[in-house]
Amino acid sequence: MKTITLAFTGASGLPYGMRLLECLLQGGQRVHLVYSQAAQIVAKQELDFTLPSRPQDAEQMLKERLGTFSGELKVFGIQDWYAPMASGSNPGDGMVVCPCTMGTLGKIASGISDDLICRAADVMLKEKRTLILAPREMPFSVIHLENMLKLAHAGAVIMPPNPGFYHHPQNVQAMVDFVVARILDHLGVEQTLMEKWGE
């Protein structure tokens, strides 16, 4: 069982994050989830459900929504400095920010750790653990690109959620699964969403 920190921010693309959460939990992983207030707005806009502000309420709602799974889910508040991933002594195995706003990406690139999402990402970089950022924006400005390059040099994996089409997706879910499968591959988590190339 791996321990994966998963963060939702206010960028469009929460279906990617929710599908990743589902796959991690169904795959028997431990997920530490944290999300911003803006992500709560996006959840209502894109998926028509409410992410509660209280972590305990969010855990209960997500467990009901996702059904039976073999993993473990723990939700943390964005200002919970006692959360495991806030310290290099307990960073977990990896972290994904999906979707990732350019504001969050910029703060991580600048070392500004003023909330649990950015602090956890900072910990991942300094502890040399896997940090995956899924920036959902277009077009990218020079500032965005420079921040992404800075983070790539620091060891982060920059993975914009750009689905491929060589597998002939028949619906939106198949395009979401393409992106989620690539993220799971980079986390070293087994997935059956997509066949590997040449198999």
Structure confidence by residue, pLDDT tens digits, 122-175? 999 999 999 999 999 999 999 999 999 999 999 999 999 999 998 899 999 999
Q: What would the mean pLDDT of 32-40 be, rounded to a whole number?
A: 97
Flag the least confident range among 60-64, 87-91, 164-168: 164-168
- Contact status, residue 188 vs residue 179, Cβ threshold 8 Å: no
Residue 119's CB is within 10 A of a number of other CB atoms, namely 22
- Residue 197 domain-assigned (yes or no): no
Average pLDDT of the chain?
Answer: 96
Does 89 map to a domain?
A: yes
Mean pLDDT of all residues in 52-63: 96
Looking at this protein, which amino acid is placed at residue 20?
Answer: L
Residue 192 in any domain: the answer is no
Name the domain count of the chain.
Answer: 1
The residue count of the chain comes to 199
Show the domain range for 111. 3-187
pLDDT at 199 exceeding the cut of 90: no
- Is 42 within a domain? yes
Helical spans, DSSP H, in the chain: 14-26, 37-42, 55-66, 102-110, 116-126, 142-154, 172-187
β-pair type (94-100, 72-76): unpaired
The helix/strand/coil state of 130 is: strand
pLDDT at 35 over 90: yes
* pTM, two decimal places: 0.96
pLDDT band (50, 70, 90) for residue 198: confident
Residue 39 lies inside a defined structural domain of this protein:
yes
* Mean pLDDT along residues 49-64: 95
**Angle of helix 116-126 relative to helix 102-110, nearest 10 degrees?**
50
Q: Report the pLDDT value the prediction gives residue 194, as an integer from 0 to 100.
A: 87
**CATH number of the domain residue 28 falls in:** 3.40.50.1950
Percent of the chain with pLDDT over 70: 100
The verdict on residue 196 lying in a domain is: no
Q: Is 113 exposed, middle or buried (0-12, 13-18, 19+ CB in 10 A)?
A: middle
Three-class secondary structure of residue 104 per DSSP: helix
**Does residue 161 fall inside a structural domain?**
yes
Contact 21, 62 (CB under 8 A): yes
Whether residue 199 is contained in a domain is answered as no
pLDDT of 196 reads: 81
